[in-house]
C-alpha cells in the first residue's frame, strides 16, 4: 500500500520572531514526526508584488511538487500541543478545514464568487488543512494586489492595533478561493467536539491582537500548563519555563 504523504508547512521570511519560533518550531516538528509528515519552512519570496503573508499561497505549487496527499499549514507563531490528533484521519479529501472560521462579511466586501457561493465562510487561516484534491484553497488570485486589497476592511479594533488591509491578504485569498471553487469546508473544532475525549480541548495557542511579548508570555504559561518542557527544551536538558 502506498504510504500517505503529508507535509506540515509554515511561513518564515526574514527570521520572524525567533523568541516565538524557538517554542513553536520544536512543537511543530514533534507533531509532524508523530503524524508521519515532513516539515517545510517557506523562507523565500515568490510573489514580491504582494504583501508578505500572500507567500502562503506557494503551497499551491509546493503541494503538487512534493506530491502530498495532505497539506497542513500553521502560522509560525502558532503553538500546538504535541499530542494533538492527526485531523487528516477524520477529514474527507474533498473537504478543507480551518481551526475555526470567521464571518467573511465582517471584513471582506464580497465579489461575484462570494455572492454566488452565499456561505460567507471566512478563512481563519493560521491553521489550515487541504488534500491534493483541494489545493485550490491556496491557488493564487486572478486579480491584482490593489484589487484584492480593495475588498478588505479591517475592523476598528484591528485598525486601532495597527493592522491594515495588506495584513489580511492571505485570509482574503483563502476566503475567496473557498467561494471561487465551491470548496467543501469543515472546522477542526467541530471535528474535535465529536470526540468525547477531546471535546473543548485547546490544542493550539495563537494570539491575534497582541504584541509578541504578550504572545511569548502566553506560550510560556502554556508550556507549564501542558507540562511539555521536554518537547520545547529537549528531554535531556529540560529547562523549566
Model confidence, pTM: 0.95
Q: How far is CA 58 from CA 44, 54, 138, 166, 189, in A?
A: 10, 8, 7, 17, 26
Contact criterion met (CB below 8 Å) for 102 and 178? no
For 104-127, letters b (16+ CB in 10 Å) and e give beebbebeeebeebeebbbbbbbb
Q: Which residue bears the cell 500500500? A: 1
* C-alpha 48, offset from chain centre: 21
Contact criterion met (CB below 8 Å) for 96 and 184? yes
Is residue 148 one of the residues assigned to a domain? Answer: yes
Q: In the structure grid, which three cell numbers stand for residue 154, read together? A: 479591517
Is residue 239 one of the residues assigned to a domain? Answer: no
Is residue 238 one of the residues assigned to a domain? Answer: no
pLDDT along the chain (241 residues), means of 10: 93 96 97 98 98 98 98 98 96 97 96 97 95 98 97 96 96 98 98 94 94 97 95 72 43
Spatial distance between the Cα atoms of 124 and 108, rounded to a whole number of angstroms: 13
Is residue 70 one of the residues assigned to a domain? Answer: yes
Counting the structural domains of the chain, the total is 1
Closest CA to 136 of 95, 177, 92: 177
Closest CA to 177 of 197, 150, 202, 148: 148
pLDDT of residue 241: 43
Domain membership of residue 164 as a residue range: 6-233
Q: How far is CA 100 from CA 27, 127, 128, 190, in A?
A: 21, 9, 9, 8
Is residue 116 one of the residues assigned to a domain? Answer: yes
Q: What is the CATH number of the domain that holds 25?
A: 3.90.550.10
Spatial distance between the Cα atoms of 6 and 143, rounded to a whole number of angstroms: 30
Contact criterion met (CB below 8 Å) for 152 and 165? yes
Is residue 61 one of the residues assigned to a domain? Answer: yes
Q: Measured at the alpha carbon of residue 216, what is the angle toward residues 87 and 164, in degrees to the nearest 5?
A: 80
Residue 198: CB partners within 8 Å, gap ≥ 6? 85, 192
Is residue 203 one of the residues assigned to a domain? Answer: yes
pLDDT of residue 18: 97
Spatial distance between the Cα atoms of 149 and 37, rounded to a whole number of angstroms: 34
Indicate the helix (H) or strand (E) that contains 72: strand 70-74
Is residue 101 one of the residues assigned to a domain? Answer: yes
Amino acid at each position: 500500500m502506498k504510504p500517505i504523504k503529508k507535509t506540515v508547512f509554515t511561513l518564515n521570511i526574514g527570521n520572524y520572531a525567533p523568541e516565538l519560533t524557538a517554542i513553536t518550531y520544536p512543537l511543530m516538528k514533534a507533531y509532524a514526526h508523530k503524524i508521519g509528515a515532513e516539515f517545510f519552512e517557506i523562507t523565500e519570496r515568490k510573489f514580491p508584488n504582494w504583501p508578505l503573508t500572500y507567500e502562503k499561497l506557494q503551497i499551491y505549487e509546493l503541494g503538487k511538487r512534493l506530491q502530498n496527499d495532505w497539506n497542513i499549514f500553521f502560522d509560525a507563531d502558532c503553538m500546538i500541543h504535541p499530542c494533538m490528533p492527526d485531523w487528516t484521519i477524520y477529514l474527507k479529501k474533498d473537504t478543507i478545514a480551518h481551526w475555526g472560521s470567521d464571518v467573511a462579511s465582517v471584513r471582506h466586501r464580497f465579489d461575484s464568487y462570494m455572492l454566488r457561493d452565499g456561505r460567507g465562510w471566512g478563512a481563519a487561516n493560521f491553521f489550515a488543512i487541504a488534500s491534493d484534491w483541494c489545493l485550490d484553497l491556496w491557488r493564487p488570485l486572478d486579480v491584482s494586489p490593489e484589487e484584492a486589497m480593495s475588498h478588505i476592511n479591517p475592523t476598528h479594533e484591528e485598525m486601532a492595533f495597527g493592522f491594515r488591509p495588506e495584513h489580511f491578504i492571505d485570509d482574503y485569498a483563502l476566503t475567496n478561493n473557498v467561494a471561487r471553487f465551491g470548496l467543501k469546508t469543515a472546522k477542526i473544532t467541530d471535528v474535535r467536539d465529536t470526540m468525547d475525549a477531546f471535546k473543548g480541548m485547546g490544542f493550539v495557542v495563537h494570539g491575534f491582537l497582541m504584541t509578541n511579548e504578550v504572545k511569548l508570555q502566553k506560550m510560556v504559561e502554556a508550556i507549564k500548563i501542558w507540562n511539555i518542557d521536554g518537547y520545547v527544551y529537549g528531554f535531556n536538558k529540560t529547562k523549566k519555563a
